[in-house]
Amino acid sequence: MPVLNFSTNSENFDKSNLISRLSQEISTLTGKPEKYVMVIFQNVNTILFDSISEPSAYIEIKSIGGINPKEISKNICTIIEQNTDIRSDRIYIYMEDVKASHWGYNKSTFG
């Protein structure tokens, strides 16, 4: 049930490797089986951050529990910095803990 939605204007990295690393890390950080982790990747033409169009990223992470914002921010930024040309000071991460009853899956909800 964790989902990581990754939007960036950078193209200078191995997308498959990065998506795989992010999926594994979100599974570990939230304590949820990777079977339920979804990673969405979106390349966007332009992100203007601090009046500059340099490589940047916007990430949304939603999960039913398991959200530790400081740990998630540190680990996800580190992975992105190590695998792309995006510096951590050009990354915004929004995190949300969602009620199980508000998360649909397989014709039902988790709560």
In this predicted model, what pLDDT tens digit does every residue of 10-21 receive, in sequence order?
Answer: 998 999 999 999
pLDDT digits (tens, 9 = 90+) for 31-83: 999 999 999 999 998 999 999 999 999 999 999 999 999 999 999 999 999 99
Residue 46 neighbours by CB under 8 Å, 6+ apart: 9, 53
Domain extents in the chain: 3-109
Q: Specify the pTM.
A: 0.93
For the chain, the three-class secondary structure string (H helix, E strand, C coil) is: CCEEEEEECCCCCCHHHHHHHHHHHHHHHHCCCHHHCEEEEEECCCCCECCECCCCEEEEEEECCCCCHHHHHHHHHHHHHHHCCCCHHHEEEEEEECCHHHCEECCEECC
Query: Looking at domain 3-109, which of 3.30.70.100, 3.30.930.10, 3.30.429.10, 2.60.120.200 is its CATH number?
Result: 3.30.429.10
